[in-house]
Structure 1
Amino acid sequence: MAFLGLRKWPVPVFKPMWPFMIAGSLTLYLIAKAQASNIRSAEYRNDPRNPYAAQLAKESIH
């Protein structure tokens, strides 16, 4: 019998979802690395739309 929608035993959440959590974190990490490498590439380094253009210009001077 369920009381207010609560069951006698808790429903497992982490155990069946761990592959998706690992894959999601790996995907997030790889996309962040690709974005960081694209921002620093020669093609986009001097692009005025690049939000890190001023920071990259300071780094390239030194």
Structure 2
Amino acid sequence: MAFLGLRKWPTPVLRPMAPFIAAAGITFFLVGKMQDMGIRSEEYAKDPRNPYAAQIAKESHH
């Protein structure tokens, strides 16, 4: 018998979603790393349109 629509045993949510959660975390991390590598590359590091150009130039002098 269901009480207010709740079953005796809850439906598993986290265990079946674990691979997707892990893949999302890995993807988020790798895309962030690729973006950081892209803005720090030689071609774009000195581009005036790069919003991080001043920060990159300041870090390179240290």
TM-score bin (small chain): 0.7 to 0.9
Separation in structure 2 between the aligned mates of residue 61 and residue 15 of structure 1, nearest angstrom: 48
Structure 2 length as normaliser, TM-score?
0.82
1:1-62 correspondence to structure 2 within 5 Å: 1-62=1-62
Separation in structure 2 between the aligned mates of residue 52 and residue 3 of structure 1, nearest angstrom: 57
Structure 1 length as normaliser, TM-score?
0.82
Deviates more, 1:21-30 or 1:46-55: 46-55
CA RMSD in angstroms, aligned pairs only: 1.4
> Structure 1, unaligned stretches of length 5 or more?
none
Separation in structure 1 between the aligned mates of residue 31 and residue 10 of structure 2, nearest angstrom: 35
Residues paired across the two proteins, number: 62
